[in-house]
Amino acid sequence: MNIMYDIFLADDHTIIRHGLRRIIEENPGYRIVGETGDGLKVISKIRTLHPNMIILDLSMPDLNGIEVVNRIRKYNKKIKILILTMHRNNEYVYECLVSGAQGYILKEDADSELISAIKALKTGNIYISPSFSNEVIRNLIERRSNAERKRGSAIRRTLTPREREVLKLVAEGNSNKKVADKLGISVRTAEHHRLNIMKKLGVTNTAGLVRHALRTKVID
Amino acid sequence: MNIMYDIFLADDHTIIRHGLRRIIEENPGYRIVGETGDGLKVISKIRTLHPNMIILDLSMPDLNGIEVVNRIRKYNKKIKILILTMHRNNEYVYECLVSGAQGYILKEDADSELISAIKALKTGNIYISPSFSNEVIRNLIERRSNAERKRGSAIRRTLTPREREVLKLVAEGNSNKKVADKLGISVRTAEHHRLNIMKKLGVTNTAGLVRHALRTKVID
DNA sequence: AGGAAGCTGGGGCGTATGCCCCAGCTTCCT
DNA sequence: AGGAAGCTGGGGCATACGCCCCAGCTTCCT
């Protein structure tokens, strides 16, 4: 009897989950051992199923996809995580990879990309959809490793209260000088906060900060 | 028989409309001649009611409030337009004023503000809620008059197709140089587009551009 | 035929960003 | 007592941004 590679599916669309199951199980050696449409239930389900890999949609109700990645990583360091999503967004790729995912492909990609990704992750590689510019991703990864070199290992990604204040003011259109005035600190400190925020969020300019602030409801 | 000052209400919340009617009609000389909760129906309704003033909520279904202002202005130059909204946003104030509104007050303001605004507009004045920093508004108005000095009278505010392309790229985080590369134009031209967009939108930096792009669904 | 609007380029200039380096202090936790 | 994390400041530097100025060309409309 062959050793099977067990995969768990997490996606809120039932039809998509079942389509994925068929695509994957056409390939010998791979088996879907379970599935869910609820991000909150991923951990409890894999606890008994102990799959080798989780294929995860980022946009599920109740729990943010990246948060699911974090929880899986906290529970088990060995399970491979493949993100399968509709979001063609460099920052999402970055966030998922630093959170502990090994792959990121798009729902608009061909079936063959899914299989390639699964095989790549199985053998220990990282796989990112060819829809993404390698240049951009490589830049982000490089920024990450620079940041990691500075401290122990995992880059700290959650913003501090002060950083959240600065992000809010920056996203509202304040310059570093105005941020400094409003918070009663020096321009240099405001600039320092802004740079730390950018490193944590994996963006390289003001536009990225504003998008993140709006996405995470820091403003508006 | 006294001459009545006729007011039309446009707000998608029925209860609010009826509350406004009571507040306004407590004041002798003022009368609500009609109302609607649908931005698309404003013009057809005022065509037969010919009110002196329209009190307008910015966030109505089917039609953007600022677009309603534009349509009213196109139909009739004399009707006073008072914006009554929940949006405490300098850029909205600016956009409404250049579109042809004479007043902007907040739903969180006191009833007395509403009456003060109505009376101010009736006598030909412009009225902006005291909740706004006079300094900021004055800056915006000044930018407007600078821009108007350059050409005949009304500043052109709708973005051209090319400008929309540039806005999208800028909001996605591209520098002027990258925008230029992607569009096959010179950096100077990209910069020129960016500045024109900022003037039209009444913002002064990248953060404002990104916020506007997200608000108007140019990206995301 | 004339004017208005859009797209394209450039000169110049002051300031702000983005990104590296460095450091001291407090607070919290082990 | 020691370390980690957060907030605070600064030096330096290349590049980008924000804002004026100028212009030619095409397209569209009256």
Task: Tell me the shortest Cα–Cα distance from A16 to chain B, in angstroms.
Answer: 23
Cα B192 → chain centroid? 25
| Nucleotides on chain D within 7 angstroms of protein Cβ | 4-11, 15-22
Distance CA B185, CA B43 (A): 42
Structure tokens at A190: 């405001």
Q: Which residues in A106-132 are b (16+ Cβ under 10 Å) and which e?
A: bbebeeebbebbbebbbeeeebbbeeb
CB count in 10 Å sphere of residue B175: 16
The pLDDT tens digits of the residues spanning A68-125 come to 787 787 777 789 999 988 777 666 777 677 677 888 888 767 778 889 999 999 998 8
Average pLDDT over residues A8-12: 85
**Could you identify the residue written with the tokens 């929940």?**
B86
For residue A140, what pLDDT band results from cuts at 50, 70 and 90? low
Interchain contact, A172 vs B207, CB within 8 Å: yes
Average pLDDT, chain B: 79
Distance CA A168, CA B192 (A): 28
Q: Any idea what DSSP says for residue B160?
A: P
Q: How many CA atoms lie within 13 A of A107 on its CB side?
A: 13
Q: Give the model's pLDDT for residue B134.
A: 61
Average pLDDT over residues B12-24: 73
Distance CA A187, CA A179 (A): 8
Return the higher-pLDDT residue of B3 and B60: B3
Weakest mean pLDDT among A150-159, B77-86, B164-173: A150-159
Cβ pair A157, A98 in contact under 8 A: yes
Q: Give the model's pLDDT for residue B102.
A: 86
Q: Using a CB–CB cutoff of 8 Å, tell me whether A178 touches chain B.
A: no
Return the CATH architecture of domain A5-132. Answer: 3-Layer(aba) Sandwich (3.40)
Contacts of A172 in chain B (CB under 8 A): 207
Q: Would you say residue A147 has pLDDT above 60?
A: no
Structure tokens at A40: 């909150």
How many angstroms separate the CA of B66 from the C1' of C21?
A: 49
Task: Tell me the shortest Cα–Cα distance from A211 to chain B, in angstroms.
Answer: 7
Weakest mean pLDDT among A36-50, A92-106, A194-208, B154-168: B154-168
Task: Tell me the shortest Cα–Cα distance from A87 to chain B, in angstroms.
Answer: 10
Q: Cite residues whose beta carbon is less than 7 Å from strand D.
A: A 151-152, 156, 158, 160-163, 183-189, 192-193, 205; B 146, 150, 175-177, 191-192, 194-195, 198, 204-206
Return the higher-pLDDT residue of A140 and A183: A183
Alpha helices (runs of H) in A26-64, residue ranges in sequence order: 42-49
For residue B148, what pLDDT band results from cuts at 50, 70 and 90? very low
Residue span(s) of chain A under CATH 1.10.10.10 come to 161-215
Residue span(s) of chain B under CATH 3.40.50.2300 come to 5-141
Q: Please, which residues have CB within 8 angstroms of residue B55's CB and are 6 or more apart in sequence?
A: B7, B8, B9, B10, B11, B20, B82, B84, B118
- Domain spanning B5-141 has what CATH number? 3.40.50.2300
Cβ pair A117, A27 in contact under 8 A: no
For residue A194, what pLDDT band results from cuts at 50, 70 and 90? very high
Q: Among all strands, which nt has the closest C1' to B173 (CA)?
A: D16
Distance CA A4, CA A168 (A): 49
Q: Would you say residue A219 has pLDDT above 80?
A: no
**Percent of chain B predicted with pLDDT > 70:** 76
Q: Looking at chain A, which runs of residues are DSSP E strands?
A: 5-10, 30-36, 53-56, 80-85, 103-106, 127-128
How many angstroms separate the CA of B106 from the C1' of C4?
A: 38
- Domain spanning B161-215 has what CATH number? 1.10.10.10
